[in-house]
């Protein structure tokens, strides 16, 4: 059974650009959540989707947005990139029973120059 797949794995952008990251959850899982990891702030929750609906949202500016498609794949978008957006972005898939147990992908490492 395939795990959580995140693409791209690495990317470099410049300030002011926008970026879209993709996450395919484990087959049968309907919940997808996103996290940002930086050395200074640790691991922080961005948002969570379940059956195409945003179920929860962290404390991030409106430049950070996401969506989930009918096949449970999710994308997150960051517009008007800032240097501080450089981070590892992790996606997690929720279990079939939606117990809250999380399974993580390998992450997308974004560098903003």
Q: In the complex, which residues of this chain contact other proteins (CB under 8 A)?
A: 33, 35, 37, 42-45, 48, 50, 55-58, 88, 90, 92, 99-107, 109
Q: Please, which residue, 25 or 107, has the CB nearer to other proteins?
A: 107
Q: Return the number of the residue (37 or 79) whose C-beta is nearest other proteins.
A: 37
74 and 65 Cβ atoms separated by less than 8 Å: no
CB 113 within 8 A of CB 12: yes
Separation of alpha carbons 13 and 111, rounded Å: 6
Shortest distance, CB of residue 16 to other proteins, whole angstroms?
Answer: 26
CB of 61 to other proteins, least distance (A): 16
CA distances for 49 relative to 14, 33, 65, 85, 101, angstroms? 28, 6, 11, 21, 14
Instruction: Find the shortest distance in angstroms from Cβ 63 to other proteins.
Output: 19
**Residue (33 or 68) nearer to other proteins, CB:** 33
């Amino acid at each position: 059974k395939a795990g959580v797949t995140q693409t791209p794995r690495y990317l470099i952008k410049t300030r002011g650009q926008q970026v879209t990251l993709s996450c395919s959850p484990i087959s049968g899982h309907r919940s997808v959540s996103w996290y940002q990891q930086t050395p200074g702030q640790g691991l922080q929750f961005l948002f969570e989707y379940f059956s195409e609906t945003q179920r929860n949202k962290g404390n991030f500016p409106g430049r950070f947005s996401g969506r989930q498609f009918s096949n449970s794949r999710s994308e997150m978008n960051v517009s008007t990139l800032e240097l501080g957006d450089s981070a590892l972005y992790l996606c997690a898939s929720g279990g079939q029973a939606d117990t809250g147990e999380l399974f993580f992908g390998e992450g997308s490492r974004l560098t903003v120059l």
